[in-house]
């Protein structure tokens, strides 16, 4: 049995390891198209601020890890698949090809390049790969004027790293608040106020329309409100799209990402997909979507690998959308149906002066979503309560009156202390 995995991000690596754990005699090959050993994009911000060396971003720290457990990690890029003959065509001078028995597409996503004039100008970069990070690390000097385009989840993560590396930062976000797809108005507004109080300049409801190199050597960024920003560097974080360029039209069913069932199997029975490239089941909505977060990539990978070994052995229960963000020391989280559900109930605690926010969303006596700002202790129980669908009974009303009693509610409602393991990947 030869399992081939395309892409060496967290989804690819965890799938390979899971395959090797459960099917020791199988051949497992990972195709890596980047100029580094498998690494985690999530660690990039810490590399940017010199908290870690480049190898601190590596998913596994031991160089021989892959060979020591019998995984073939090879360099190469998939350019096309022939499903009938189960052959992969690689994009290199030797025109190498690879045969597979089962294939996992774990190719992740790539940043959207905003369609604006001058986006190719030197000094404009995304912050998605280690290569991008090396470029930025080299380029940013203390006191530089830097413009960040996009204040979504990834934008806000980079924001902190840019400020910590000494940039005078200006953020330009198209939508009317920060992290619009992760935080509600109250919470997004609070994050914005916090950033403003830390000296970051923020333009929401504004877009960059054109970039040019000025005579001074700096970049000039023309905004939709007519203002011109001057900057040494511009970083774009305006969303990502799944990497499916190697697929011919209608070769596999693709929506926003590659469509999969609850076995992470695509429309071809021997081809599976996992991670940012796959539209997997969302626990909260019951629908299939791209979550583009690391924990979901890992969930997908483990389910996909087990089904590659034996189809039907595990069913994906749906991943919960969850995020944690540290914006210049302000820690925020959101979980599940944080925007609420139809006919649901909710409770909010807000303290603008102290930058504290806590919101719980209920459906019946189930917790279905939550948002918190300024909370670092025991936040995981929010996931536990949501994903184990534990009935809160009387505790729901108590929480509606006083959401700070969360831990009491949790401990009272879970089967036993620390043993509510009804959460499945």
Ligand X SMILES: Cc1cc2nc3c(=O)[nH]c(=O)nc-3n(C[C@H](O)[C@H](O)[C@H](O)COP(=O)(O)OP(=O)(O)OC[C@H]3O[C@@H](n4cnc5c(N)ncnc54)[C@H](O)[C@@H]3O)c2cc1C
> By the criterion CB under 6 A, which residues form the site for ligand X?
6-12, 31, 33-34, 41-42, 44-45, 77-78, 106-109, 127-128, 154, 157-158, 243, 246, 275-276, 292-295, 297
How far is CA 55 from each of CA 14, 60, 69, 225, 371, rounded to the nearest angstrom?
18, 9, 20, 42, 33
Task: List the single partner that 31 binds among ligand X, other proteins, none, CB under 5 to 8 Å by kind.
Answer: ligand X
Instruction: Please state, in angstroms and rounded to a whole number, the distance separating the CA atoms of residues 103 and 85.
Output: 12
Task: List the single partner that 359 binds among ligand X, other proteins, none, CB under 5 to 8 Å by kind.
Answer: none
Min CB(235)–ligand X separation in Å: 10
Residue 286, phi-psi category: left (phi > 0), alpha (psi -120 to 50), beta (remainder):
left
Nearer to other proteins, 34 or 270 (CB): 34
Task: List the single partner that 158 binds among other proteins, ligand X, none, CB under 5 to 8 Å by kind.
Answer: ligand X
CB distance 16 to 26 below 8 Å? no
Min CB(224)–other proteins separation in Å: 33
First and final CA of the chain: distance in angstroms? 25
Task: List the single partner that 369 binds among other proteins, ligand X, none, CB under 5 to 8 Å by kind.
Answer: none
Nearer to ligand X, 242 or 403 (CB): 242
Task: List the single partner that 14 binds among other proteins, ligand X, none, CB under 5 to 8 Å by kind.
Answer: other proteins
Nearer to other proteins, 225 or 394 (CB): 394
Nearer to other proteins, 238 or 323 (CB): 323
Nearer to other proteins, 31 or 390 (CB): 390
Query: Can you point out the beta strands (E) in 83-177?
Result: 87-90, 97-99, 102-105, 109-111, 124-126, 145-149, 168-173
Min CB(185)–other proteins separation in Å: 22
Instruction: Please state, in angstroms and rounded to a whole number, the distance separating the CA atoms of residues 18 and 76.
Output: 22
Nearer to ligand X, 243 or 266 (CB): 243
CB distance 40 to 57 below 8 Å? yes
Task: List the single partner that 8 binds among other proteins, ligand X, none, CB under 5 to 8 Å by kind.
Answer: ligand X
Min CB(292)–other proteins separation in Å: 14
Min CB(29)–other proteins separation in Å: 21
Nearer to ligand X, 88 or 392 (CB): 88
Min CB(213)–ligand X separation in Å: 26
CB distance 316 to 287 below 8 Å? no
Min CB(425)–ligand X separation in Å: 15
Min CB(58)–ligand X separation in Å: 12
CB distance 235 to 160 below 8 Å? no
Nearer to other proteins, 42 or 74 (CB): 42
Name the 3-class secondary structure at 418.
coil
Min CB(399)–other proteins separation in Å: 13
Nearer to other proteins, 103 or 370 (CB): 370
Instruction: Please state, in angstroms and rounded to a whole number, the distance separating the CA atoms of residues 265 and 273.
Output: 6
Structure tokens of 308?
């590659």
Instruction: Please state, in angstroms and rounded to a whole number, the distance separating the CA atoms of residues 98 and 32.
Output: 13
Name the 3-class secondary structure at 235.
strand
String of b and e for 349-386 (b: at least 16 CB within 10 Å)? eeeeeebebbbbbbbebbbbbbbbbbbeeebebbbbbb
In the 8-state DSSP scheme, what is residue 53? -
Q: Is the dihedral of CA 264, 270, 273, 274 positive or negative?
A: positive
Contacts with other proteins, residue ranges (CB under 8 A): 10, 14, 40, 42-43, 46, 51-52, 56-61, 294-295, 298, 302, 322-324, 326, 329, 331, 333, 335, 376-384, 387-388, 394-395, 407-408, 410-421, 423
Give Dmax over CA atoms of the chain in angstroms: 68
Helices 294-309 and 10-22: angle between axes, nearest 10 degrees: 30
């Amino acid at each position: 049995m030869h399992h081939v995995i395309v892409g060496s991000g967290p989804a690819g690596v965890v799938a390979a390891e899971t395959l090797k754990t459960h099917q020791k005699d199988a051949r497992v090959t990972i195709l890596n198209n980047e100029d580094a050993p498998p690494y985690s994009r999530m660690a990039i911000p810490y590399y940017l601020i010199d908290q870690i060396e480049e190898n601190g971003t590596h998913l596994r720290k031991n160089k021989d890890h892959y060979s020591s457990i019998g995984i073939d990690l090879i360099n190469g890029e998939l350019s096309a698949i022939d499903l009938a003959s189960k052959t992969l065509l690689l994009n290199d001078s030797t025109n190498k090809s690879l045969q597979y028995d089962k294939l996992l597409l774990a190719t992740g996503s790539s940043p959207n390049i905003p369609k604006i004039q001058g986006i190719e100008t030197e000094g404009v970069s995304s912050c998605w790969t280690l290569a991008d990070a090396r470029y930025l690390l080299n380029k940013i000097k203390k006191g530089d004027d830097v413009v960040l385009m996009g204040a979504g989840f990834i934008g806000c993560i980079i924001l902190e790293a840019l400020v910590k590396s000494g940039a005078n930062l200006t953020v330009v976000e198209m939508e009317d608040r920060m992290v619009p797809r992760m935080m509600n108005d109250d919470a997004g507004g609070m994050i914005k106020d916090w950033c403003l109080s830390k000296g970051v300049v923020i333009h929401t409801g504004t877009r960059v329309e054109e970039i040019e190199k000025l005579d001074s050597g700096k970049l000039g960024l023309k905004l939709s409100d007519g203002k011109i920003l001057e900057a040494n560097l511009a970083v774009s974080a305006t969303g990502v799209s799944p990497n499916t360029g190697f697929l011919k039209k209608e070769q596999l069913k693709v929506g926003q990402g590659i469509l999969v069932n609850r076995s992470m199997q695509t429309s071809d029975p021997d081809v599976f997909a996992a991670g940012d490239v796959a539209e997997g089941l969302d626990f909260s909505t019951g629908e299939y979507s791209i979550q583009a977060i690391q924990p979901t990539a890992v969930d997908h990978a483990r389910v996909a690998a087990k089904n590659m070994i034996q189809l039907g052995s595990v069913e994906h229960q749906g991943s919960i959308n969850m995020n944690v963000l540290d914006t210049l020391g302000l820690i925020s989280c959101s979980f599940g149906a944080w925007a609420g559900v139809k006919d649901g109930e909710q409770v909010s605690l807000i303290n603008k002066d102290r930058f504290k926010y806590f919101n719980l969303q209920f459906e019946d006596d189930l917790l279905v979503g939550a948002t918190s700002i300024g909370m670092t202790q025991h936040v995981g129980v929010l996931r536990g309560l949501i994903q184990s669908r534990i009935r809160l009974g009387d505790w729901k009303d108590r929480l509606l009156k006083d959401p700070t009693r969360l831990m009491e509610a949790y401990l009272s409602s879970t089967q036993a202390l620390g043993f509510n393991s009804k959460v499945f990947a």
